[in-house]
Amino acid sequence: MPTKHEQIAADLRRKIHEGKLTPGDQLPAETQLMREYRVSPGPVRDALKALRTEGLIETRHGIGSFVRSPRRKVRRSGDRHQWEKDRARLSEDERRETGQVERETGLTVSELAFHAEYGTEQASEDLAKVFGVPAGTKMLHRVYRTRSRAEDSPVSLVDSYLVYDMVAANPDLLTADKEPWPGGTQHQLYTIGIEVDRIIEEITARPPRAEESEVLGIGPGIAVLFLRKTSIDINGRVVEYSEVVLPGDRTEMVCTTQLQRWST
Amino acid sequence: MPTKHEQIAADLRRKIHEGKLTPGDQLPAETQLMREYRVSPGPVRDALKALRTEGLIETRHGIGSFVRSPRRKVRRSGDRHQWEKDRARLSEDERRETGQVERETGLTVSELAFHAEYGTEQASEDLAKVFGVPAGTKMLHRVYRTRSRAEDSPVSLVDSYLVYDMVAANPDLLTADKEPWPGGTQHQLYTIGIEVDRIIEEITARPPRAEESEVLGIGPGIAVLFLRKTSIDINGRVVEYSEVVLPGDRTEMVCTTQLQRWST
DNA sequence: GAGTGGTCTAGACCACTGT
DNA sequence: CAGTGGTCTAGACCACTCC
């Protein structure tokens, strides 16, 4: 015998999948559901909570619960890095034409709210180990917050780190004034004579922190993809490290592994 | 002013992080917490629910709530495929020495419960498109369920598909009797003259289905990593496709993107 | 002000586990 | 059996949004 809140959840789920409730539709009020199913507030709230963590509905305080539209997935594939590298040596006009984010999302610049913040700080133990420098080394810490003006489109939270003395050769790289920088990080590194050889991305899934679930517009039950991205130059030196938070329900990472041929 | 259930959750979280409650410890009973914080059952249960979805505690009906040990992460990096490919042409004894799972988890075969099931079915629209064959083509469908006997160790759920007529050349490949097969899928393909050239993995995060959260031993709030893995042989043909479900809190995928050098 | 969801109370009863 | 968590009731009051 299923519990009442499971029955209610299953019933609403069915209505959504069958199309009786379509994306954007408002669900009956909780008081209404209590009358319909002849239960007290508890089970109704439990059922709605379940649908929220599954990402099926979205609840707005004082307004109501609504069926969410299935999120378009943004593919974030490995060749994005090759694409950025190829563009790094183009003219500014060419670089300005399209940015990385626009390429991936199909959104134009005006539809995106882009925010960049630059600061300096001393490298923590962990950060120093990534770069192979002493703890306390002066680092350039850049924070990027990309969010969509319209709902229902992809965003990302990025914390990027560079060794301060390495990038100080080009003063333009030290302030947020020049952001968004046409051509991205790989062109920024190019201006100080650095060529990136390979990029390592370590991917895990975890529950979002409170700030993240708010900025990304996902419920606290929807996981985020957490990336640790390390760029290594042609001399084997770590030149950039960033931590990226992506909404798990809207992002698809693509990894391609090329294998060596068997010797015959 | 924070809510009561948030205060209780924050308080317990702090006790865990400070080490007053260490992994394996039992939390006070809910009735006890009600007395301590002078609240009714609701807030206490809400607080514990929050800690559960964060993966900090685990609750067993009729027994109590316990602090979970932080899960050791299993790195699943791209060179795993090269490693498997290199082994595919070794002798059976050499292949038998260590399997893929044992290599990654550090567990021995006896600590793992391995289950394989083989069946045939007609390719669905989507599956046919992956392989570039007509819908309805006869497919070999293999289901793998790897779980740990001890708690607290990694597992995976794999659904693997092959074109039946392609692998029928070696009848050993058509039954589950030979599993676990020393050398894995790449050696199986080698026995029918197939060399894998590259592997594409598409990664997303999503909430676990009910069966998955049970088998993987994760709460319904912990996300799973969902992989679609496509193997392509040296003739550009898709030779294997699998869908893999991994516990998001215990898995780390590593992607390395090698970039081409700038022409000078 | 009317309607919505969010939080909380103070109980009841049931299901599960171990002794 | 006693002790635990799981479900549910039937209300109260608050916070938010819209008109």
Q: Which residue shows structure tokens 């007509």?
A: B134
What DSSP state is assigned to residue B27? P
In this structure, of A7-11, A94-98, B104-108, the range with the lowest mean pLDDT score is B104-108
The answer to whether the Cα torsion of B89, B91, B94, B97 is positive or negative is positive
pLDDT band at A206 (very low <50, low <70, confident <90, very high): confident
What DSSP state is assigned to residue B222? S
Judge whether residue A30 contacts strand C, using its CB and a 7 Å cut-off: yes
Residue range B22-38: mean pLDDT, rounded: 91
Residue with CA nearest C1' of nucleotide C3? A62
Q: Which residues of A fall within a CB distance of 8 Å from B225?
A: 203-205
Residue of chain B whose Cα is closest to the Cα of A251: B204
Q: Which residues of A fall within a CB distance of 8 Å from B249?
A: 204-206
- More reliable by pLDDT, A70 or A186: A186
* Amino acid residing at A123: A
Which of A232, A255, A258, A260 would you mutate first to test chain B, the one with the most B CBs within 10 A? A255
Considering chain A, what is the average pLDDT of its residues? 87
Radius of gyration of chain B (CA): 23
Give the nucleotide with minimal C1' distance to the Cα of A65.
C5
pLDDT band at B70 (very low <50, low <70, confident <90, very high): confident
What residues have CB less than 8 Å from B217, skipping those under 6 apart?
Answer: B147, B151, B155, B247
Task: Give the pLDDT of residue A78.
Answer: 80
A147-176 residues touching B, CB cutoff 8 A: none
**Beta-strand pair A57-60/A224-233:** unpaired
Task: Give the pLDDT of residue B79.
Answer: 84
pLDDT at B113 over 80: no
State if pTM tops 0.85.
no
Question: Does residue A220 have a cis bond before it (omega within 30 degrees)?
Answer: no
Residue range B105-113: mean pLDDT, rounded: 60
- More reliable by pLDDT, B74 or A6: A6
Measured CA angle at B123 (ends B119, B128), to 5 deg: 140
Please answer whether residues B233 and B131 qualify as being in contact, where contact means their C-beta atoms are separated by less than 8 angstroms. no
CB atoms within 10 A of CB A4: 17
Q: Render chain A in DSSP notation, one character per residue.
A: ---HHHHHHHHHHHHHHHTSS-TTPBPPPHHHHHHHHT--HHHHHHHHHHHHHTTSEEEETTTEEEEPPPPPPEEEETHHHHHHHHHTTS-HHHHHH--HHHHHH---GGGEEEEEEEEEEEPPHHHHHHHTS-TT-EEEEEEEEEEESSSSS--EEEEEEEEHHHHTTSGGGGSGGGPSPTTHHHHHHHTTT--EEEEEEEEEEEPPPHHHHHHTT--TTS-EEEEEEEEEETTS-EEEEEEEEEETTTEEEEEEEEPPPPP-
Residue range A52-72: mean pLDDT, rounded: 86
Residue of chain A whose Cα is closest to the Cα of B74: A204
Q: Give CA–CA dist B89/B70, Å, rounded.
A: 38
Q: Give CA–CA dist A188/A181, Å, rounded.
A: 8
Q: How far is the CA of A32 from the C1' of D19 (A)?
A: 21
Q: Give CA–CA dist B208/B260, Å, rounded.
A: 38
Task: Give the pLDDT of residue B145.
Answer: 85
Task: Give the pLDDT of residue B183.
Answer: 84
Of A201, A202, A256, nearest to B198 by CB-CB distance is: A256
Residue range A13-18: mean pLDDT, rounded: 92
Task: Give the pLDDT of residue A149.
Answer: 56
Radius of gyration of chain A (CA): 23
B208/chain A closest Cα distance in angstroms:
9
Task: Give the pLDDT of residue A63.
Answer: 93
Task: Give the pLDDT of residue A11.
Answer: 92
Please answer whether residues B247 and A205 qualify as being in contact, where contact means their C-beta atoms are separated by less than 8 angstroms. no
Residue range B63-67: mean pLDDT, rounded: 92
Cβ contact A81–B199 (<8 Å): no
Q: List pLDDT tens digits, range A16-49.
A: 999 999 999 999 999 999 999 999 999 999 999 9
> Encoding tokens for residue B210?
């009910």
Residue range B219-231: mean pLDDT, rounded: 85
Task: Give the pLDDT of residue B109.
Answer: 58
In this structure, of A202-216, A240-254, B145-159, the range with the lowest mean pLDDT score is B145-159
pLDDT band at B236 (very low <50, low <70, confident <90, very high): very high
Task: Give the pLDDT of residue B122.
Answer: 97
In this structure, of A93-97, B84-88, B242-246, the range with the lowest mean pLDDT score is A93-97
In this structure, of A46-50, A87-91, A101-105, the range with the lowest mean pLDDT score is A101-105
pLDDT band at A247 (very low <50, low <70, confident <90, very high): confident
Task: Give the pLDDT of residue B210.
Answer: 64
pLDDT band at A163 (very low <50, low <70, confident <90, very high): very high
CB atoms within 10 A of CB A245: 22
In this structure, of A51-65, A233-247, B143-157, B212-226, the range with the lowest mean pLDDT score is B143-157
Question: Does residue A180 have a cis bond before it (omega within 30 degrees)?
Answer: yes
A142/chain B closest Cα distance in angstroms:
23
Residue range B207-233: mean pLDDT, rounded: 81
Please answer whether residues B116 and B179 qualify as being in contact, where contact means their C-beta atoms are separated by less than 8 angstroms. yes
pLDDT at B128 over 60: yes
B246/chain A closest Cα distance in angstroms:
10
Task: Give the pLDDT of residue A162.
Answer: 97
